[in-house]
Structure 1
Amino acid sequence: MKMVTAVIKPFRLDDVREALAEVGVHGTTMTEVKGFGRQKGHTELYRGAEYAVDFLPKVKLEVAVADDRVDAVVEAIIEAAKTGQIGDGKIFVHNLEQVVRIRTGETDRDAI
């Protein structure tokens, strides 16, 4: 099993959710986060004063999937989140040791 974590632009969230549903993903966790990479933030003007915005708003999605579904999930996220502009985000894939559904006690693949 794998955990796929994607950090994307907030306005692409609905498109990514739809793309994940099309490849059979029915559950995901979404967190509003802030960060920066090569974008390095920007400056804004507020009431006549200019200030730096170092951390940009992003959305972090976490999806637990079976090993054989990872490529389809990653590809769906890429296609739906990509704008071609700097700051489109990143996808991280890492191993899951164990998954347990609290309500039923199901484990691993059955719990996903």
Structure 2
Amino acid sequence: MKLITAIIKPFKLDDVRNALSEIGVQGITVSEVKGFGRQKGHTELYRGAEYVVDFLPKVKVEVAVSSDLLIKQLKLSLNLQILARLETERFSLLI
């Protein structure tokens, strides 16, 4: 069994789900997470007080597969479609 994990921007979730469906993935696990990194957050004003928002909302997508052939297909598709076109920020394959 292999676990593929990607952390993406929330508005890209539908594109990722559609891309995975096109290559035959039937089920995924999606979690709402927060991240801190290159984007550095921003400052917001609420009721006259200034707040620093360090952690930004992200979506964690996990796909578990058992076929080595499917792993090769997923790696290729995720690398080409998701990492480049969909601007994935984090991607890992646990073997």
TM-score of the two chains, using structure 1 as the length reference: 0.70
Q: Deviations over 1:80-106 (max 9, x none)?
A: 46455xxx41111002xxxxxxxxxxx
Q: Could you say if the C-alpha distance between residues 80 and 93 of structure 1 is closer, same or farther in structure 2, counting changes exceeding 3 Å?
A: closer
Match of 2:49 in 1: 49
Q: Could you say if the C-alpha distance between residues 83 and 19 of structure 1 is closer, same or farther in structure 2, counting changes exceeding 3 Å?
A: closer
User: Which has more strand, going by share of residues?
Assistant: 2
TM-score of the two chains, using structure 2 as the length reference: 0.81
Q: Deviations over 1:12-40 (max 9, x none)?
A: 00110000000000011000111112222
The answer to whether the 8 A contact 1:12-1:80 is kept is no
How far does residue 42 in structure 1 lie from its aligned partner after superposition?
A: 1.5
> In the alignment, is residue 72 of structure 1 matched against residue 73 of structure 2?
yes
User: Which has more helix, going by share of residues?
Assistant: 2
The answer to whether the 8 A contact 2:15-2:86 is kept is no
Identity of aligned residues (%): 58
Unaligned runs of 5+ in 1: 96-112
Q: Which amino acid aligns with 1:44?
A: E
Match of 1:90 in 2: 90
Unaligned runs of 5+ in 2: none
